[in-house]
Amino acid sequence: MIKLVVFDLDNVLIDTETIDEIAKIKGIEEEISDITLQAMQGKIPFETSIRQRVKKLEGISTSDIDEAMDKISLNPGAVETATELKKQGYKIAIITGSFDVIALKVKELINADYAFYNTLEVDDGKLTGEVSGPLITQNKVDVLRQLVDEIGITLDECATIGDGANDLEMIKNAKIGIAYNAKPILKENADVQINEKDLRKVLDIMADEEKITKEEVVEETTQEPETITTEEEVKETEEVNEEEVVENDETEEETIDYSILNFQQLLQCKRTLESELTDLKNVRDKMNEETKAFRKERDELNQKLKDTLKIALDKRNTRDEINKEVHENKELRNQCNEELKKVEWNSGKKEISNIQAEINKIDKTIQTKVLDIRKENELVKRVSDLTKQLKKIQSDEEEEKTATQLKEKSELYHQKVVELSDKAQAVHEEMIEYFNKIDGIREEADGKHQDFINSRNAATAKHEEVKAKLSEIRKVNKFMDQAKSQSRGRKSEDKADNDLKEKEEAEEIFQKFKDGKKLTTDEFLLLQKYDIM
């Protein structure tokens, strides 16, 4: 089970090579990059490359370095991944050949538990061109070994993420080695590859590893011989008193005292346990298949949810773009209308309208009221004067033409406003339809996820039963070994007793032979066996 996750820094947690960024201050980034590339490809030793590169940085001020480091950004998902890993109980370490000027900042940003890095030597606020630290003379895997020893775990409880040749041994020796947008030499030796700039993929890998660990089948014990092959074991079997093996009660499991059973009884117990183990494993495997099916369905629903959400958001963006066009056309239409009002006012139409209104008013007064001759003459004269004035007013033809054009433009813009508004409304309704679908898909996905959790828990519980049954089989094997050992001991003692009796019998035969008794062939062979003659 993984307990520690180790990250390289440059091009893994951050999206650059730190030393290249420092080199830019002095304008020697190309010189530095060439040496860096050779080191990453494994063409020159890391210690040689780091000392060569740092030497070229001599004289750069620490204030300029701090300013450059503040501009460096983390790779996508770095903080989110570290936060989630720590929430799940993993320890996080940074092991890098990079430098203190950035490693300490990143350690704080992702809240790492440990950080190992090199230190740029400084004198009077400027780099001396010298470097020190644990990653100068040691390989990263050596530092990792020291760390796991210190915290009391093993390399088989580590996952490591790197991108270059100096990560190679660390990647190869950890339980899980992850190549993150890595050089070919690292990809060839890694367990898993991430070929996109998204550290959240590490969470997927860790989730898969946890699942594999939970579902891993406990290694079965070596099968003991189930048949008795030697003559002594056959004899022992014939002499065994057949006793009924204690069986498990269906409602309450009883503990069997294997120490009181003989070899044949233990063998029968083992066969029973192995049969039960097979049944348990079949049930567990079926549960695991169901769990995988639920997970697949859940993932498909989640993907459908993402796809539907993307369509809905695309619809919203399209609607907003159309509404933007609506607003632009409204503005243009309103501008035309404002210009049209000015043209109509300046063309004399307003004055013509006023004169005509006054003439109509005087005519009405003359027709409806009783007036003296003097007053009536005055009004008639006023109408005559206004009529003459009206005839003299002529509209400007150019302004009339301009007004006509403005009217046409205004109508076109208004037509676009109407058409685009209808189109925006249609897209808006489609967007609402997709957003409504999302709720149903999310509910279905949540239900399938709960099915997955329940099925996984049931499969895990059944796997624990498998492990317990295997443990019981190992226990029986142990007692079977002891029974065999005891049986061999008894046979050895019986053989010694038989040999003693035969020797005494041979001595008696020899005494009788000396007294003149004739020997049979068997008696003669017995005397030869004990070298009495």
116, 95 Cβ separation under 8 angstroms: yes
- Proportion of the chain in helix, strand, coil states, percent, rounded to 5: 70, 10, 20
Helices (DSSP H) in 132-200: which residue ranges? 134-137, 140-151, 168-173, 184-187
d(CA 360, CA 228): 135
Q: Exactly one of 10, 163, 167, 198 is catalytic; which is it?
A: 10
Which residue is catalytic, options 8, 163, 167, 198?
8
Distance of alpha carbon 181 from alpha carbon 457, whole angstroms:
35
Retrieve residue 490's tokens.
């008894």
DSSP character at residue 58: T
Q: What distance in Å separates the CA atoms of residue 55 and residue 23, rounded to the nearest whole number? A: 11
Q: How far, in Å, CA of 345 to CA of 246, rounded?
A: 115
The strand pair at 126-132 and 114-123 is best described as antiparallel
d(CA 446, CA 59) in angstroms, rounded, equals 59
**Can 10 be counted among the known catalytic residues?**
yes
Q: Is 49 exposed, middle or buried (0-12, 13-18, 19+ CB in 10 A)?
A: buried
Distance CA 4, CA 82 (A): 12
b/e 99-122 (16+ beta carbons within 10 angstroms → b)? bebbbeebbeebebebbbbbebee
* Whole-number Å distance between alpha carbons of 171 and 513: 84
Closest alpha carbon to 239 in 525, 507, 513, 491: 491
Residue 279 among the catalytic residues? no
Reduced to 3 states (helix: H, G, I; strand: E, B; else coil), residue 139 is coil
Nearest to 55 by CA among 39, 32, 38: 32
Cβ neighbors of 231 (< 8 A, separation 6 or more) are: none
Q: First and final CA of the chain: distance in angstroms? A: 73
Among residues 95, 247, 65, which one has the least CA distance to residue 168?
95
Report CA Rg, the chain: 49
- Name the residues annotated as catalytic: 8, 10
